[in-house]
Amino acid sequence: MQVLKDILSGVKILDHKGDLNIAIAGINIDSRAISQNDVFVAIRGTKVDGHTYIDKAIQNKAIAIICEEYPIYLKDGLTYILVENSAKSVAKFAANFYDNPSDKLKIIGVTGTNGKTTIASLLFELFNNLHLKSSLISTVAYYIGNKKYNSTHTTPDAIRLNQLFAEMVEGNCAYCFMEVSSHAIDQYRVDGINLKGVVFTNLTHDHLDYHQTFKNYRDTKKKLFDKLHDTSFAIVNSDDKNGLVMLQNTKAKKYTYSLKRESDFKTKVIESHLNGTLMTINNTELWTLFTGHFNALNLAAVYATAYLLGVDKEDIITNISILKPVRGRFETVQIDKITGIIDYAHTPDAIKNVLLTINGVKADNQELITVVGAGGDRDKTKRPIMARVAVENSDKVILTSDNPRTEAPENILDDMEKGVILSDRKKVLRITNRKEAIKTACIIANKGDIIFIAGKGHENYQEINGIRYDFDDKQVFMEQMGILNG
């Protein structure tokens, strides 16, 4: 138990009703999860206003309420704290409640449209290979040392984040590598976190349903760099013009990595194959099991981060050479001389990068068949662009469902088809059922061909009308190839 007054340091309080010298057991933003003597923080979300659940939290024995607006009736014996912004306040409140655990870790945030999962996951693996106990917060999973938790969000809410950081400290972890989404920055989930460094990967068309404009999206990412202190470092991909924007006004030490420009960590691809890449980082040659220029940039970011955290250069190079691709990120499976490539690519730029990589290494007699869809209830403006990029860089394309969520799949495919010009329609199939789409790709593929299955990567479900069904692209591909060759 902690005293409420003691953990309000740094929280801007406009007014309060009731006793601040009360013992509290926990904090929650979900009224359903409130237990006796917890504090309920009412947050105004994009879809739900937590203020409408204050009564529910009180029924569940909340002892205090943090809110932006007092309810009409104040219950005797309860404490109410009025703040300007509940989401911002809970970040600081949670950090205080868990004894500011981020101050006791070296936390690296990775942000950008593409590459976050790969970079964060590889840093986690590299550091643990070197017996530097680390943790990971990513889209795929959360790890505290060897302990795994299912991932609920790319970046969890502020309370969950600080819970995880506290557990990392208790487990003697020294480092944490975490993906930081634009939503998390905008919703103050990472406020109050002491970041040792931040990596910027790139910025391309995504999440405009949320941010409305590309400028808003970019400026949201930049906020993460603006909050860094002078003992932190910022590493940006200078091949992306937005990388240098991130460095404007930051107090952190500034570093760049690139393939095309002079930079602090200059990278060059010498040879690229489906099973790996020969490359250099600052003139040191290495063979890696990763494919493509985009992965060369990801590895440069990994190298730069490890180096700035004090790891020996030779140890970094040795370990990068043995690192394996992250599940669902350019993951290759070969069955009966047909290669399946499973990738999480779900933006126009990510799809284009993967397709250009495949086209750069495949033989002239190999056909590239792409299976691609777009998520429902998300940015609609990218759908026709995704389809156009797929068609322009593939021999055949099958448009299909991704996670339609609450949208009608046919409507999503209609949006995608708008990006296909008339002369290209002959190489496009439209198959709404994702399993049937993958099956069809396997049927029409000849030996030596490549099937690129885009959009879901590591995900093991498909969400349709709010219900999650078991679905794994890699597993479906392997099953269909097994049936065809059985």
Which H or E run includes 477? helix 473-484
Percent residues over pLDDT 70 in the chain: 98
Predicted pLDDT at 1: 76
**Class of residue 213 by CB neighbours under 10 A (exposed 0-12, middle 13-18, buried 19+):** exposed
Reply yes or no on whether the pLDDT at 17 is more than 70. Answer: yes
In this prediction, residue 100 carries a pLDDT of: 96
Domains of the chain (ranges; CATH) run 2-97 (3.40.1390.10), 101-320 (3.40.1190.10), 331-484 (3.90.190.20)
Segment 72-82, tens digit of pLDDT: 999 999 999 99
One-letter amino acid for residue 359 of the chain:
N
* Mean pLDDT computed over 196-200: 98
pLDDT tens, position by position, 392-439: 999 999 999 999 999 999 999 999 999 999 999 999 999 999 999 999
Give the C-alpha separation, 187 to 37, whole Å.
Answer: 26
Burial of 56 (0-12, 13-18, 19+ CB in 10 A): middle
CB-hemisphere CA count at 13 Å for 362?
26
- Residue pair 122/299 in contact (Cβ under 8 Å)? The answer is yes
Residue 217's pLDDT is what? 86
Cβ burial of 82 (10 Å; 0-12, 13-18, 19+) is middle
pLDDT in tens, 204-247: 866 556 656 888 889 999 999 999 999 999 999 999 999 999 99
pLDDT at 315: 97
Please name which of 376, 287, 339 lies closest in space to residue 481, comparing C-alpha atoms.
Answer: 339
Tokens describing residue 165? 């950081």
User: What pTM, to 2 d.p., does this model score?
Assistant: 0.88
325-369: per-residue pLDDT in tens? 888 999 999 998 999 999 999 999 999 999 999 999 998 899 999
What is the spatial distance between Cα 402 and Cα 378, in angstroms, rounded to a whole number?
Answer: 11
Q: What pLDDT does residue 152 have? A: 77
Q: Which residues contact 235 (CB under 8 A, 6 or more apart)?
A: 197, 198, 199, 200, 255, 256, 257, 265, 301, 304, 305, 308
Contacts of 476 (CB under 8 A, 6+ apart): 434, 435, 438, 439
Sequence-separated (6 or more) residues with CB below 8 Å from residue 128? 134, 145
Q: Which two tokens stand for residue 111?
A: 């942000």
Show Cβ contacts of residue 445 under 8 Å, excluding neighbours closer than 6 positions.
338, 367, 369, 451
How do 79-83 and 64-67 pair as beta strands? parallel
